[in-house]
Amino acid sequence: MVVPKSEDVQLPPSGPVGRGTSQQYGSNLPSSQHSGSPQHVSSNGNILPVNTILHYEPQDYTETDFLLPNQLYGSSRFSGSMRAKDAGGSGAPAESVCSMVLQILVPFLLAGLGTVSAGVLLEVVENWDVFQEVPEIFILVTAILGMKGNLEMTLASRLSTAVNAGKMEHAREKWMLIVGNLALKQLQATVLGLLASLMATVLGWMAEGKMPLHHVMLLVSTSVSTAFVASLLQGIIMVGVIIGAKRMGFNPDNVATPMAASFGDLITLALLACFSHWFYSVIDLYPHVLYLVVLLLLCLIPLWVVISTKHPASCILLRTGWEPIITAMFISSIGGLILDKTVSDPNLAGIIVYAPVINGIGGNLVSIQSSRISTELHLNYSPGEVPEDRKGCFPPCRTFFGSGANHRSAQILLLLVIPGQLVFLLTIYLMKGGNTLPSPLLTVSFLSASLIQVFSLLCLADCMVHCLWRRGKDPDSYSIPYLTALGDLLGTALLSLAFFMLWYIGDLGSV
């Protein structure tokens, strides 16, 4: 890669965009800097080639700067976005409606099958001894599933933006970005796994009035182990999906986030069930094993911190990326408490199969829209700048009516809800042996709850992403955790209400 001459790479002297690189490319650089080989002035005055530089100063970057240092690419985000807007283009991949539908549909169906499988699996494991003896695990299920979905989708959204911005062309910088983000995700998963178990403990104690110590240790060890292993497996899978989508010419925004969810729910729930069952079987004979496992995983935190600081993007998120995921986990935990109380009533226990489906599908669809809008803003607008029609209050229906690509994607995502959920209801029926066909009232109630949930989330995504960008926050890191957590809470609440109404009128939910 050849870095253009200095006049092409100079950045604005002030402002948040490209901050930290303008001084390095000022007009007072030595004349050798303008020769054929790209070079960089080190702190001691020596001139070094840019492509050998591995040390950055993360404090010079802001949340909404491009994900990679501009030195390696020879153009600033400001100049790039200005050129895109001046040319009248968005800078995003051109997509026809047919292409958009196909790229969204296949991952959507795969994600749906993953969430359906997770729901059926949850119905099976709810009868295991550990789930019966430690009912707080149901709170942990929703919190962990929501947390893992947040981390995977946020990673997918960030890397999708980097791909669409052309910021993953340089091999060394690409892998530094990937490794830094994976290390950050391992750190976040470990810490949030611990917090999720403590939150489940507190909510369980508030609901039941008691919480034995061995139950607390079971929740902590299960949560931290599940979060750590699931994060590692899914992170590697997500990197492969995004790189593969790039090479095949697909828009990663359409593919990556639903694929993250499709792997996430099933893998995470399977690991949670296995870890909880195993720890429950050894807790009486070898209780020290649980303490050792938690201690070992917590001792790895300094390693993840060190690796995360090697790249500006992950270093920034190491300081600023905790608020949305912690808040989102708390919101998801409230949804888990609702699910726990609903499942405890034998008349409403059937909700256990459908809850992961409605929550997973809602999160998948809104994450696609959030990722697409975020990419458009990164490519076309400087931080704090939004389109004219998004500067003030706007009616929710504007999300779906317009000629832009994101208007079309919102329409497509909403139209996928009814046929998609019908396919997943049929899949549930077949996976359960064809013995419990959903009743017409259950089908209508489930579809209505799904439609209300997705419509609300898409409208909220349009407003939230633009508001975050206007405030100088990176929507890739902030919006998806909030949206998916709200989707979990809204989906669980609507589904619980639907099942309660069915029970009240005497419909058993199946025929």
What is the total count of domains within the chain?
A: 2
- In the prediction, which pLDDT does 262 show? 62
Averaged pLDDT score across all residues of the chain = 76
Task: Verify that 194 and 283 share a domain, yes or no.
Answer: yes
**Which long-range contacts link 462-468 to residues 24+ away (Cβ below 8 Å)?**
462/369, 462/373, 462/390, 462/396, 462/398, 462/399, 462/406, 462/410, 463/394, 464/370, 465/370, 465/373, 465/374, 465/377, 466/373, 466/377, 466/386, 466/387, 466/390
What residue spans of 29-76 are helical by DSSP H?
none
Q: Are 399 and 407 in contact (CB under 8 A)?
A: yes
Give the pLDDT confidence of 24-33 residue by residue, as tens digits.
333 333 333 4
Q: Is residue 463 in a domain? A: yes
Task: Verify that 154 and 282 share a domain, yes or no.
Answer: yes
Residue type, 72: L
Task: Verify that 483 and 393 share a domain, yes or no.
Answer: yes
CATH code (residue 110)? 1.10.357.20
- In the prediction, which pLDDT does 4 show? 41
Average pLDDT for residues 159-182, to the nearest whole number? 81
Task: Verify that 317 and 172 share a domain, yes or no.
Answer: yes
**Residue 397: how many CB atoms within 10 A of its CB?**
9
Task: Verify that 399 and 492 share a domain, yes or no.
Answer: yes
- Give 11's pLDDT tier (boundaries 50, 70, 90): very low
pLDDT at residue 250 tops 90: no
- Give 152's pLDDT tier (boundaries 50, 70, 90): confident
Distance, in Å, from the CA atom of 155 to the CA atom of 257, rounded to the nearest integer, reads 9
Q: Is residue 240 in a domain? A: yes
Domain-ending residue, one of 341, 369, 391: 341
- In the prediction, which pLDDT does 140 show? 83
Give the pLDDT confidence of 481-497 residue by residue, as tens digits.
888 888 888 998 999 99
- In the prediction, which pLDDT does 385 show? 83
Distance, in Å, from the CA atom of 267 to the CA atom of 118, rounded to the nearest integer, reads 8
- In the prediction, which pLDDT does 194 show? 92
pLDDT at residue 82 tops 50: no
Q: Give the contacts of 149 (CB within 8 A, at least 6 positions apart).
A: 260, 261, 264, 265, 360, 363, 484
Domain extent for 337:
129-341
Q: Is residue 57 in a domain? A: no
Q: Is residue 267 in a domain? A: yes
pLDDT at residue 43 tops 60: no
Give the pLDDT confidence of 100-110 residue by residue, as tens digits.
888 788 778 88
340 versus 62: the higher-pLDDT residue is 340
Give the pLDDT confidence of 186-203 residue by residue, as tens digits.
999 999 899 988 888 888
Task: Verify that 170 and 270 share a domain, yes or no.
Answer: yes
Report which secondary-structure segment, H or E, holds 483.
helix 475-504
pLDDT at residue 38 tops 70: no
Average pLDDT for residues 315-329, to the nearest whole number? 82
Task: Verify that 331 and 352 share a domain, yes or no.
Answer: no
Q: Is residue 194 in a domain? A: yes
In this structure, of 86-100, 161-175, 244-258, 495-509, the range with the lowest mean pLDDT score is 86-100
Task: Verify that 225 and 264 share a domain, yes or no.
Answer: yes
Average pLDDT for residues 503-510, to the nearest whole number? 77
**Residue 307: how many CB atoms within 10 A of its CB?**
18
Distance, in Å, from the CA atom of 441 to the CA atom of 476, rounded to the nearest integer, reads 38
CATH code (residue 328)? 1.10.357
Q: Are 68 and 357 in contact (CB under 8 A)?
A: no
Task: Verify that 117 and 142 share a domain, yes or no.
Answer: no
Task: Verify that 119 and 141 share a domain, yes or no.
Answer: no
Q: What is the pTM of this model?
A: 0.69
Domain-ending residue, one of 291, 322, 341: 341
Q: Is residue 52 in a domain? A: no
Task: Verify that 262 and 384 share a domain, yes or no.
Answer: no
Task: Verify that 397 and 411 share a domain, yes or no.
Answer: yes
E strand spans, 69-187: none
Average pLDDT for residues 107-129, to the nearest whole number? 83
Give the pLDDT confidence of 341-381 residue by residue, as tens digits.
787 788 787 788 888 888 878 888 888 888 888 888 888 88
Q: Is residue 92 in a domain? A: no
pLDDT at residue 40 tops 60: no
Domain-ending residue, one of 299, 316, 341: 341
Q: Is residue 45 in a domain? A: no
